[in-house]
Structure 1
Amino acid sequence: MQPESTPTTRDILRVWRADRIVSASTARQYLYWIGRFRRYCNALGLDEADELTRDGLGRFLNWYAHSRSVAASYLAWASSSLRSLRRVYEFIGRPIPPWRPVECRPAPVTAVLRDYAAHLGQHRGNPEVTVRKKLDHVGKLLEHLHCSGKSWRQLNLPEIDAFLIGCARRYAPSTTADIASTVRSFARFLLVSGRIRTDLADAVISPVTRQFENHRRALPWEDVQRLLSAVDTSTACGLRDHALLLMMSAYGLGAGEVIGLQLQHIDWNASTLQMFRPKTDVSFVLPLLPPVARVLARYLRHGRPAHTLTRYVFVQMKAPFGALASSSAVRHIIIKHAKIAGIQAPYLGSHVLRHSNAARQLDVGTKARVLSDLLGHRDPGSVSAYVRIATQSLREVSLPIPR
């Protein structure tokens, strides 16, 4: 028998109405599956709240489908239903186990990889995300050596060349070049740590990537305005997307910066935003511009589900309303609204609004040194990537053509 704190149907519907996410027809389907789930828990003497996990869902589906022929699409309703029931428990404040066990990323298994990771973090100043990426690259190299019956102790240029040729067959040139950069870094580490005696780094050859061979990664400012105007702000999802896209457009934020914003980072009294750049592991303060403040406040009041456990500002619009986890979520939001706005561009990645902001800044006369600081570039020369897309500025500085 379920404990007294088990939410009733009225409690469930009240929470779903507060979230403004579950429609009436969807609620009927969810309640149907919740009823089956509760009968399952009663039959086996299980506590409902304890079974609201990914493993508990699997056990319930196995029990339900044991003697039935059930389509996978039909069972998908059960997953959504139990996630929505979890949301109710979160709302009323009753403790429940995590949806899935917390997965701790294992430490590097060998001494050389542990020392290399420490070298990258402590001496090179690389953030954790970069350290993980480089360890993954080195792992591929060590796997290649292992297939040849060798280890890093037998690392030589022919083996490095063979490894990178194999990478070139599987990955894009830019990815292979990135892996080659890691191989150089690892070779230098092996040398300075006394593990090898030959300097291999300078002889590592990577694919040649022309600096500006890719499509321009910015939208004309008129298209940015069309993109923002195309967002339907009559829905909770639209309010979230509009606030997110406006912040990226106004400040030139990257995807990692905007999805990393948390509620405590907004100082409404001082009108500031405390931002964090995951790539460089640097925090910085931005002014909370009045138009951004209005849009952000509207989203937080009327779009973001109430009593959401995460402190991240931008969340998924389905239970359990977790934070947006990756830049791919931002890319999908941009592509969705660009399609609605009728914008066709060769590049619509998660950083397109950052590039658009940079081009706009150059067009209105922002100095390159200032723009470099605003965008968080360590190398001021990085701004040169935006000069080719600031077409208005180029027109103003172009020289007359002699006749």
Structure 2
Amino acid sequence: MDQTTYSGHLAVHHGDDAPFADERNRYLRHCAEGGATQASLKIKRNELLWIAARLGRDASVGIDIEALRRIAIDREQAHGAVTAARRVVDIGRPWLRFLGWWREPSARFEYQSQLDEYVRWMREERGFTPSTLEQWTRVIGRFLRWCDQTNRQLGDLQAADIDAYFVTQATGRWSRVSVAATASGLRVFLRYAGKRGMCADRLAGSICRPRLYRQESLPYAPNWSDVQRMLADVETDKPRDIRDRAILLLLAVYGMRSGEVVALRLDQIDWSGRTLRLFRLKRRQPQIYPLVPSVAEALARYIDTVRPPSSCPEVFLCMQAPRRPLKAGSIYDVANRRFVGLGIEAAHRGGMHCAMPAPLGFLPKVCR
């Protein structure tokens, strides 16, 4: 680590003979390039010294959470503070992941290989988007884990077993919409599994999803008056509120989904032409919308005053280092904080994208 990159206390002393010096220096350089402050880098450096001194020479083979927790306990006993142990885990785990030395906890189950194969098929053969893959992996994984836990063999499944799954898992917990979506997902999976000899070929045909009626799930999102309260709540000079206001306006005005918000890039905003070019995940095609003045103002304020300098093309980045793009789950957190803080009740707190007011709900598509 050279003096030009890390000044003052971050420069590596010549007397630093602790193990894995090169690995520690490379990670600190990575953190600095990601926007970490001098104070943050100093804390990371001290914790990594402690961790490195307690790792074995075979650390590159893999370190799991239990080994890291043992080091954290030593840290806590030496300093008498729970926060010291927490820092070891919070700093050590990203470092080990950066090096490729982190060993994820084993959570495999009997049908993990079948699930992995199905996910590859959905991605490579069907071309599903990452958000769809994540959704169906969760739905099918839940079903296969239930089969494992109840000692049901995939090759011996009968229609009665599918009924038992919905009776035990869905009753009192799933809405009709959730039941219908799960039934559709299972039907596709079992049709796939039947063609590959994993289960009876006719099993998929025995699944009947409940009938859904038009607009059955409405109201699905908060009232527009509640959305206006949420927007007013973020109309402050706080950096996080400035970012959150831009996100909430995209959700409410354009009906964007969380995956569409986090995927939005700077080059999709045409300031001079006053248009916003989106790639709609549901329709799987680009669409161009007029750039509504209130949204343009919120986006410009965030980009000009809050968004950290970064080579990332995505608009919305984490507020703290590392400066990486937000994940879809972070968008839920943005909305949920306002729901909880303002005491707003809604059946689906991720449904801000369904809360468009009538005048803006008919924004014209400039082109398709």
TM-score (norm 2): 0.66
What corresponds to 2:60 in structure 1? Answer: none
The structure-2 alpha-carbon separation of the partners of 1:71 and 1:311, relative to structure 1 and needing over 3 Å to count, comes to farther
1:240 is displaced (CA, Å) by 0.8
Give the corresponding residue for 1:312.
314
Q: Which residues in structure 2 correspond to 1:22-37 (within 5 Å)?
A: 30=40, 33=43, 36-37=46-47
1:260 counterpart residue number: 263
Q: Counterpart of 2:57?
A: none
- Provide Cα deviations, 1:366-385, integer angstroms capped at 9, x if missing partner: 4xxx88x79x9xxxxxxxxx
RMSD, aligned CA: 5.0
TM-score normalised to structure 1 length: 0.61
Report what 2:206 is aligned to. 203
Matches within 5 A, 1:4-403: 4-9=3-8, 30=40, 33=43, 36-37=46-47, 62=72, 65=75, 68-76=78-86, 97=98, 109-110=113-114, 114=117, 118=121, 122=125, 126-145=128-147, 151-168=153-170, 171-173=173-175, 174-190=177-193, 199-205=202-208, 216-306=219-309, 308-327=310-329, 329-337=330-338, 342=342, 344-347=344-347, 349-352=349-352, 354-357=353-356, 359-361=358-360, 366=362
Counterpart residue identity of residue 345, structure 1: E
Count, aligned residues: 332
Give the match's secondary structure for 2:236: coil
Question: Whose radius of gyration is greater, 1 or 2?
Answer: 1
Structure 1 gaps, min length 5:
13-18, 45-53, 87-95, 377-403
Over 3 Å counting, the alpha-carbon distance change for 1:150 and 1:270 in structure 2 is same
Long gaps (5+) in structure 2: 12-33, 55-63
Q: Distance in 2 between matches of 1:63 and 1:348?
A: 40
| C-alpha contact (below 8 Å) 1:127/1:280 kept by paired residues | no
Q: Which deviates the most, 268-277 or 237-246?
A: 268-277
What per-residue deviation string (whole Å, max 9, x for no partner) do you get for residues 27-79 of structure 1?
87x587357448759989xxxxxxxxx99xx5996497175153323454677
One-letter amino acid of the counterpart of residue 81, structure 2: A
Decide whether the 8 Å contact of 1:167 with 1:176 is kept in 2: no
Measured at CA, do residues 163 and 270 of structure 1 come closer, stay the same or move farther in structure 2, by a change above 3 Å? same
Contact 1:219 1:356 in 2 (8 A): yes
**1:91-144 C-alpha deviation (Å, 9 max, x unpaired):** xxxxx95798799xx9x734x973685368645x64343345434444444455
Cα offset, 1:316, TM superposition:
2.0
The SS at the match of 1:68 is helix
Q: Which residue of 2 aligns with 1:381?
A: none
TM superposition shift of 1:320: 1.6
Change in 2 beyond 3 A, CA 1:225/1:11: farther
User: Shift of residue 317 of structure 1?
Assistant: 1.4
TM-superposed CA distance for 1:261, in Å, is 0.8
Displacement, 1:157? 1.1
Contact preservation (8 Å) 1:232, 1:239: yes
Deviation digits for residues 134-192 of structure 1 (CA, Å, limit 9, x no counterpart): 34444444455556766443332122222332322595245444332222223333556
Query: % of aligned pairs identical?
Result: 23
The alpha-carbon distance between structure 1 residues 232 and 71, as it changes in their structure 2 partners (threshold 3 A), is farther
CA 1:188–1:34 in structure 2 vs 1: closer, same or farther (change >3 Å)? closer
Q: Match of 2:83, as an amino acid?
A: S
1:337 and 1:98, CA in 2 relative to 1: closer, same or farther beyond 3 A?
A: farther
